[in-house]
């Protein structure tokens, strides 16, 4: 593996991202260490190659956004929109994540060791999100496909307007959103949970301790007589 480093205090985010936007063949097998990120925005966005990136510190808005194939680790916390619109690969936040973590992710795995803010997994479209701590209100809002695993607690309106995504919660749920409901945990759920927890390095949790939240499917079709009451 080829090891390279970019010091953002000297080279800047643009130079880093230009390098990471090289051809998949040229980047394959590289391990890029990002020094002195100091909360800069748009670090390691738009990667389309099997490259490994380690960010040594905190990241600002939209870190590792639109990720494809890459394995990105943030050795700190991340601000709004980390791993937004991720297609594949893995993004691992060792600290906390702010609002809209994993928004619109189509694939891949986002792991957050700490807590996540509001709207975690909003409009999720097929990716997997594992949160070691708790999540804020409206997490999983309009999540269409994919899975969310929350090892802590969930805030208000969890899974509001949920479609085919499934949310697993180990702790308490302050409230469920419109059309979200608790369902029995199946053997397939516990197997899926065990696999996701293992991938996230959280296999010490018992999958049977989680609750399953899924869609009641009453919002799939417009009901003219509902008078906006669902």
226 within some domain: no
Question: Is the same domain home to 104 and 213?
Answer: yes
Host domain of residue 113: 97-219
For residue 135, is pLDDT > 60?
yes
Identify the band that residue 219 occupies on the pLDDT scale cut at 50, 70 and 90. Answer: confident
Give the pLDDT of residue 160: 97
* CA–CA gap between residue 146 and residue 31 (Å, rounded): 28
For residue 1, is pLDDT > 90?
no
230 within some domain: no
Where is the domain boundary, 95, 130, 148? 95
For residue 227, is pLDDT > 70?
no
224 within some domain: no
- pTM for this prediction: 0.95
Percentage of residues of the chain with pLDDT beyond 90: 93
225 within some domain: no
Give the pLDDT of residue 17: 98
> Which tens digit of pLDDT belongs to each residue from 34-85?
999 999 999 999 999 999 999 999 999 999 999 999 999 999 999 999 999 9
* CA–CA gap between residue 47 and residue 117 (Å, rounded): 25
* CA–CA gap between residue 199 and residue 215 (Å, rounded): 26
| CA quadruple 100, 220, 189, 107: dihedral sign | negative
Question: Is the same domain home to 111 and 171?
Answer: yes
């Amino acid at each position: 593996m080829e090891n390279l480093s970019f010091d953002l205090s000297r080279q800047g985010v643009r130079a880093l991202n230009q390098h990471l936007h090289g051809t998949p063949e040229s980047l394959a097998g590289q391990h890029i260490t990002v020094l002195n990120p100091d909360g800069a925005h748009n670090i390691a966005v738009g990667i389309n190659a099997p490259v490994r990136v380690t960010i040594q510190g905190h990241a600002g808005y939209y870190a590792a956004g639109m990720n494809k194939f890459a394995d990105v680790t943030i050795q700190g916390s991340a601000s709004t929109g980390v791993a937004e619109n991720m297609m594949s690969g893995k993004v691992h936040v060792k600290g906390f994540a702010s609002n809209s973590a994993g928004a619109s992710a189509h694939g891949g795995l986002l792991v957050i060791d700490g807590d996540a803010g509001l709207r975690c997994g909003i409009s999720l479209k097929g990716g997997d999100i594992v949160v070691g701590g708790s999540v804020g209100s409206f997490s999983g809002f309009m999540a269409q496909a994919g899975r969310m695993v929350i090892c802590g607690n969930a805030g208000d309106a969890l899974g509001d307007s949920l479609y085919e995504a499934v949310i697993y919660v180990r702790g308490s749920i302050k409230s469920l959103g419109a059309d979200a409901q608790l369902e029995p945990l199946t053997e397939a759920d516990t197997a899926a949970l065990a696999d996701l927890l293992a991938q996230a390095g959280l296999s010490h949790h018992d999958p049977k301790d989680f609750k399953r939240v899924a869609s009641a499917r009453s919002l799939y079709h417009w009901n003219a007589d509902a008078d906006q009451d669902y």
